[in-house]
Amino acid sequence: MKIEVGKSVMEVNNEIAQAVRDDLTQHGIIGLNLMASPGAGKTSFIEATHRAAPDIPLVVIEGDVATDIDTVRLRGQGVETFQINTAGGCHLLAKMIADALPQMNLTGARLLIIENVGNLICPGAYDLGEGIKLVLPSVAEGHDKPHKYPSLFQKADAIVLNKMDLTDAVGFDMDYFVGGVRNVNPDSPIIPISCKTMEGVDVWIKWLRDRLG
């Protein structure tokens, strides 16, 4: 008699994520897992990236609890976008990406941005098959976020700090913010930007081009 021991949710997720990563690599695509609080400007960041580097062939997966508001926005700008609604789920799973990819036109794409559900906690625990984990805090959330939600910042390959145009209005303390990131993540770049004024977006694009190779 043989007793099969079931795999954990996390093990299954990791296996599927690896298959997604292999699939993307075969297509010549790097995945970017975009993680942030609700309202940090994730969709505006995707739009700014596309505007500043229209030559980088981009496809997008939008993860939301409800609505397709962001997908409609991105499709309006000619970006191939696939909507996932989690119906209450607080993060995406690799299986959702694996199911989405065959339904998308990936021809010629180099970059897949996966906009995760707005949440600074749970998304960090689930590999989606990405090559880049990006955390997008905004100055409007305050300078203490890396202190209070360290796990996501620890895992980030890049931290892009959005809404720099609001710095003075909210009294953002950059040194305290950077200190919080450096407590858990000594090396990843911290790139301040404003998707409204496009300040700093060129620095982000340069980093992205280096990673895409």
Q: How many CB atoms lie within 10 A of CB 189?
A: 12
Segment near a second copy (CB under 8 A), from 14-22, 49-57, 94-102, 115-123? 115-123
Q: Is 163 in the site for a second copy (CB under 8 A)?
A: yes
For 51, phi and psi rounded to 5 degrees?
Answer: -70, -40
Q: Which of 98, 150, 182, 205 binds a second copy (CB under 8 A)?
A: 150
Q: Is 116 in the site for a second copy (CB under 8 A)?
A: no
Residue 58 CB, nearest distance to a second copy (Å)?
22
Q: Is 38 in the site for a second copy (CB under 8 A)?
A: yes
**Helix-then-strand count for the chain, H and E:** 9, 7
Q: Is 169 in the site for a second copy (CB under 8 A)?
A: yes
Residue 130 CB, nearest distance to a second copy (Å)?
20
- Interface with a second copy (CB under 8 A), residue total 34
Residue 207 CB, nearest distance to a second copy (Å)?
24
- The nearer residue to a second copy, 22 or 121, going by C-beta atoms, is 121
For residue 51, give every residue at least 6 positions away whose Cβ sits within 8 Å of its Cβ, in sequence order, or none: 198
Q: Is 119 in the site for a second copy (CB under 8 A)?
A: yes
- The nearer residue to a second copy, 27 or 147, going by C-beta atoms, is 147
Q: Is 197 in the site for a second copy (CB under 8 A)?
A: no
Q: Which of 84, 145, 158, 188 binds a second copy (CB under 8 A)?
A: 145
